[in-house]
Structure 1
Amino acid sequence: MSLPGTPPAHKARTVALASYIGTTIEWYDFFIYGVAATLVFRTQFFPAFSELGGTLAALGTFAVGFIARPIGGVVMGHFGDRVGRKSMLVVSLLTMGIATTLIGLIPTYETIGIWAPILLVVLRLAQGAGVGGEWAGAVLMAVENAPPKRKSLYGCFPQLGLPSGILLSQLVFLVLTGILPTGAFAAWGWRIAFLVSAALIIVGLIIRLRIEESADFERIREAGQVEKLPIVEVFRRSPLQLLIGSLASIAAPALGYLVSVYMVSYGTTTLKLPTATMLWIIVAVSALWIVMMLGAGMAGDRVGRKATFVAGAVLAVLWAFPMFLLVDTGVVALIVVALVVITAANAIMAGPQPALITEMFPIRLRYSGASLCYTVGSILGGGITPLLATALFAEFGSSLAVSGLIVVASLISLLAILPAGRRILRPGEPVPPRSGELPPVDQAAAQPLSD
C-alpha cells in the first residue's frame, strides 16, 4: 500500500528500470570512446606523435568530453527544472547517440589530416554535453518516484548504468578483437562499436518516451512553484550545498575511470598483458561492480547515505597502495582482486550518492543543483584521472604516484562530506499534494539521516 501522495510501487519500479536501461546505453556510448582511445585512436588520429605523446593526446580527447559536461548540465538542468525531467532525458539520449554514431564515421588522419582530430574533439564535446544532462535527470526520475524509505536503493539504479555500460563496451570490443585480425580491427573494425549506438538510440527512445514524468516535479508544476531561473536560484540559495556536493562527487568517478579507462592502457602497455586479457578482467570486475552497487544503495536506506559514502571513501584511501602492489605483479588473479576491492570502494560511494546529492536541494532546483555537482565532480575526478595517471607514471616511473592520486581524490570527497550535517544533506521540502490527496508524509522525518 502506498502512502498518500506517493507514486504506485509498479510505477517506481518501471521508472527505475527505464532509468537503468537508458543510462546503460549512454554510458556504453561514453565508454567505448575511452576503450578506443587507449587501443586505436593514437594510431588512427595522432600518428605524428610518439607512443607516449599519442597516448596522452588520445586520452586528452577523452578528457575533453568532461569540459562540455557543465554546459550540458546547466542547459538541461535549467529546462529540467522548468519543463520537466523526462524531456531532457530524451534530448540527452539523442545528443549522445548521434555524436557516438558520427564518431564511427570520421575519416582518419591519413585521409583528411588535421580535420580528423578536430572532428573527434567536436563530437566528444557533444558526447560530454549529452551525458552532462543525463545523470541528474535519470537520478531524479528514479528518486522522485521512489517509495520514501527506498530512495537510496531506487536512486542507485541509474548508477548501475555505469558498470553496465562498461561491461557492454568491453564485451563489444572483445567480440570485435576476437573475430577480426589485428590490422582490420585497427583500420575499421573499431568503428562497429560506435555504429551500434544507432540501434541503441532507438531502444532507448522507445523506453524513455513511454515513462511518465517525475511525480514530485508534476506537483511542483501543478502548484505553480516552478522557478523561472533555477540555475541562478541554486547559486543564490544553496552555494554551500553546491560546494560540498561537487567535492563529494570527485572520488567515485576518479576510481571508476581509473579502472575502466586507465587500467586497460596500463595493463597492455606497462604490464604487457594481452588486450583481451585486460578486457576480460574489466568484464569480470564490472559484473561484480553492479552487485556491489545495489548493496550500497540498500545500505544507504538502512544505515544512512552519509555513513555508507564515508565507508567507501575510507576504503579507497586504505586500498590505494595495496591495489598497485597486487596489480604490478602481473598475475591475473591478483589484478582481479585489486580491482574488485577498488571498485567496491567506488560502489559504496556511488550507490547512495544520487539520493545524497539530490536531497541537498529543493525539488524545484534539483536538476540544476545535482547536475552542477555531478559534472564539476566528474571533471575534477573523472575527466583528468586517466590523463593525469598516465602523466604521473611517465614522470615518476612508479605506480606509487598513481596510488597517491587515488588517495588525494578520495580524501577530498571524504573531508567534504564528513562535516556536513542534516541541514545540508537533507534540507527537506514539503511536496504539494495532488488534488484530493492528503499532504504527503515528510520524507525527511520518515527517513532519518545517519551522520
Structure 2
Amino acid sequence: MTAIDRPPIDRPTPTRDLRRTVVSAFAGTSIEWYDFFLFGSAAALVFPEVFFPTAQPGVGLLLSFMTYGVAFVVRPLGGIIFGRLGDIIGRRKILIATLLMMGGGTFLIGCVPGYDAIGLWATVALVLLRAVQGLGLGGEWGGAATLSAEHADGAGKVGSRGLHASWMQLGVPAGNLLAVGALFVMNAVLPEDQFLAWGWRIPFLASAVLVVITFWIRAAVHESPLFDEAQTDERPVRTMLRTSWRQVLMTIGIRIASDVSYYVFAVFALSYIANTLNLAASVGLTGVLVGCALQFAVIPVSAHLSDRIGRRPVYVIGAVAVGAWAFVAWPLIDTAVAGLAVLAIAIGIAAQGIMYGPMAAFITEMFPTRVRSSGAGFGYQVAGIFGGALAPFIAQLLTRTFETTSAVSVYVAITAAVAVVSALLATETSGRKLS
C-alpha cells in the first residue's frame, strides 16, 4: 500500500460539492439505466421478431432473454476493472468513462441491421454491444454509490448518508420510466409493422443526445475528499478479496432478491402478459411505468427511514414484502384482467424499492475507503448474475415446465428469504463515519 501525493484541490464548499455529486449521480445513473432497461424491454417485445425470426416463438423469446443476460455476466468484470481503477485513480474519472461506454453501446444497437438483412451477424453484433453495455454499467454503480456516500461524509451529513446516497438509486426507476415510456410512445403511434421495422430504434439512437447532456453535468463534479486524503492500495481487488470477503458475500446475499423481484416484474411479466395471456403489450408497460413512478416516493422514504432506525430492519421489511407479494401478484396477473395485472406489477416494483432505497449506503458502508469502489462494485455485480441475469430466463423456464406461475412466486420467495438471512448477518452500519 502506498501513499500518493496529490496537489491541493480548489473545491467549492462541501455542501455545494455534495449537491453537485448527488445531481450528477442521479443524472448519470438515470441515463445508464435508461440504456440498460431499453434493451430489456426490447428483448421482451421486439428482439424475438427482429433478431430471432426463424426460431419458434417460445424459443425465440428464451434466446432473446439470453442476449439480455449477457450484460449481467460481464458486469462483474466491469465492476472489477472500473472498481480497481476507481480505487487507484479516482471515482470521478471512472464514472465519465462508464457513461461514454454505455451510451455508445446503446446508440450502436439502434444501428444494427436485423436478422433478415445480415443473418447471424446481426445476433453477434447485438451480443457484443450488450457486453459493452454490461461493462459500462458494471463500473457505474460502485463508483456512483461510493462517490455519493463519501461526499456526504465530507459535508458532515453522516446522519443522512442513506438519503443522499439514495438519489443515485432513483436513477433506476427514472431510467426505466424513460425507456419504457419511449417504447410505449413509439408502439402507440406506429403500426406494428413499422414499429418492428424501425420505430424501436429511435429510443436507442436518442441515447446519444442524453449522454452529451449528462457528460456536461458529470464533468463538473470533484473527486471524493475521502479518496484524496486516503492511502491508495496498488492492488485493491486482491486486498478486498483477502480482507473483505465476508462483506462481499453479504452484498451478494442481500442483492439477489432485489434483482430477481424487479426483473421478474419489469421484464418477464411484459412477455408473459403479451405472449401467454394475449393482452396488449401496453398493459405490462403501464404496470412498469406506474411501479417506477411509485418508487420515486418509496426509495427516498425507505432510505431516510434507514438513517433513523438502521439499514438492516428496513431491508428485512422490504424483503418480506417482496416475498409475500409474489404469492398475490401472479394470481392477479393470471386473471388476465388488465387493471389487476397493472396493479400486481406496480406494487411488486414499488415493494422492491423498500430494499433498494438503503442499498447504496448499506453496501458502501461495509467496505473501507481504499477498497470501497472495488468491493461495492464487485459484490453488487456478481449478485446481478444470479439475480437479474437469470430471473427472466428462469421465470420463463418455470412457467413452461410447471405450466403455472406459482413456481415463479416460490422462486421469488426463496430469494427473499436469502436476503433476510444475509441482512440479519450483516453488521449495522448507519451512523458510522466512513473514515
What is the TM-score with the length of structure 1 in the denominator?
0.90
Q: CA deviation at 1:13?
A: 2.2
Q: Does 1:318 align with 2:328?
A: no
After superposing the two structures, state which structure 1 stretch, 23-32 or 107-116, moved more: 107-116
Relative to structure 1, the CA distance from residue 31 to residue 430 in structure 2 (aligned partners, 3 Å threshold; closer, same or farther) is closer
Secondary structure of the corresponding residue to residue 112 of structure 2: coil
Match of 1:57 among 51, 57, 63: 63
1:227-376 maps to which residues of 2 (within 5 A)?
227-376=233-382
2:117 & 2:207 partners in 1: Cα distance?
24
Distance 1:175 1:341 in 2: 23
Q: Distance in 1 between matches of 2:83 and 2:432?
A: 20
Look up the match of 2:182.
172
The 8 Å contact of residues 265 and 288 in structure 2, kept in 1 or not, is answered as yes
Deviation (angstroms), 1:8: 2.6
Contact 2:150 2:434 in 1 (8 A): no
Supply the RMSD in Å over aligned alpha carbons.
Answer: 1.7
Question: How big is the shift at 1:30?
Answer: 0.3
2:398 to 392, 397, 406: 392
Read off the aligned partner of 1:305 and give its amino acid letter: R
Alignment match, 1:151: 161
Residue 37 to residue 285, structure 1, CA distance change in 2 (3 Å): same
Structure 1 gap segments, 5+ residues each:
1-5, 432-451
In the alignment, which residue of structure 2 is the partner of 1:415? 421
Q: Which amino acid in the other structure matches residue 408 of structure 1?
A: I
**1:385-434 deviations in Å (ceiling 9; x for gaps):** 01110111111110101111101111111111212234xx5796773xxx
Aligned to 1:95: 101
Give me the whole-angstrom Cα distance separating, in 2, the residues matched to 1:15 and 1:307. Answer: 28
Aligned partners of 2:94 and 2:143 also within 8 Å: yes
Q: Distance in 2 between matches of 1:108 and 1:312?
A: 41
Find 1:193's aligned residue among 187, 198, 203: 203
In structure 2, the partner of 1:138 is 144
Q: In the superposition, relative to structure 1, how do residues 230 and 152 fare at CA in structure 2: closer, same or farther (>3 Å)?
A: same
SS at match of 1:250: helix
Matched, 1:214 2:224: yes
SS, match of residue 425 in structure 2: coil
SS state at 2:335 partner:
coil
Q: Aligned to 1:74, which of 67, 72, 80? A: 80
Cα distance between partner residues in 1 of 2:427 and 2:175: 34
Q: Is the 8 A contact 2:44 2:61 kept in 1?
A: yes
Q: 2:194 aligns with which of 157, 174, 184?
A: 184
CA distance in 2, matches of 1:59, 1:392: 14
**C-alpha separation between the residues in 2 aligned to 1:248 and 1:234?**
18
**1:86 — aligned with what?**
92
Aligned-partner Cα distance in 1 for 2:342–2:190: 26
The answer for the alignment partner of 1:108 in structure 2 is: 114
Kindly provide the amino acid, as one letter, of the partner of residue 174 in structure 1: F
Change (3 A) 1:429 1:293: closer
Cα drift, residue 91 of structure 1: 0.7
Query: What is the TM-score of this pair, normalised by structure 2?
Result: 0.94
Would the alpha carbon gap of residues 7 and 250 (structure 1) be closer, same or farther in structure 2, given more than 3 Å must change?
farther
Paired letter, 1:209: A
Instruction: Give the conservation status (yes or no) of the 8 Å contact 1:177–1:185.
Output: yes
SS of the equivalent of 1:282 reads helix
Question: How far is 1:143 from its partner?
Answer: 1.0
Distance 1:262 1:430 in 2: 38
Cα deviations by residue, 1:268-292 (Å, 9 ceiling, x for unpaired) = 1122211123212211221112211
In structure 2, list runs of 5 or more residues that go unmatched: 1-11
Q: Given that residues 316 and 407 in structure 1 are in contact (C-alpha distance below 8 angstroms), is that contact kept between their aligned partners in structure 2?
A: yes
CA contact (8 A) 1:360 1:427 kept: no
Deviation at 1:360, TM superposition (A): 0.6
In the other structure, the counterpart of 1:44 is: 50
Identity of aligned residues (%): 38
d(CA) in 2 for partners of 1:133 and 1:358?
A: 14
For the residue of structure 1 that corresponds to 2:200, the secondary structure is helix
Q: What is the distance in 2 between the residues matched to 1:376 and 1:7?
A: 36
SS across alignment from 1:351: helix
Structure 2: how far apart are the matches of 1:408 and 1:380? 13
- Determine the C-alpha separation between the residues in 2 that align with 1:428 and 1:292: 24
Alpha-carbon offset, residue 77 of structure 1:
0.4
The alpha-carbon deviation at position 9 of structure 1 amounts to 2.4
Aligned to 1:436: none
Q: Would the aligned equivalents of 1:253 and 1:382 in 2 still touch at CA under 8 Å?
A: yes
Give the distance between the partners of 1:400 and 1:280, measured in 2 at CA.
Answer: 23
CA distance in 2, matches of 1:427, 1:163: 27
Secondary structure of the structure 2 residue equivalent to 1:68: helix
Q: How many residues align?
A: 421
Other structure's SS at 1:204 match:
helix
Q: Name the aligned partner's letter for residue 190 of structure 1.
A: W
Distance verdict in 2 for CA 1:430–1:161, change over 3 Å: closer
CA distance in 2, matches of 1:273, 1:7: 54
Q: Single out whichever of 51-60 and 292-301 deviates more from structure 2.
A: 292-301
Would you say the 8 A contact 2:51–2:115 is kept in 1?
yes
Q: Distance in 2 between matches of 1:217 and 1:207?
A: 21
For residues 302 and 252 of structure 1, what CA distance do their matches in structure 2 show? 22
Matched, 1:125 2:131: yes
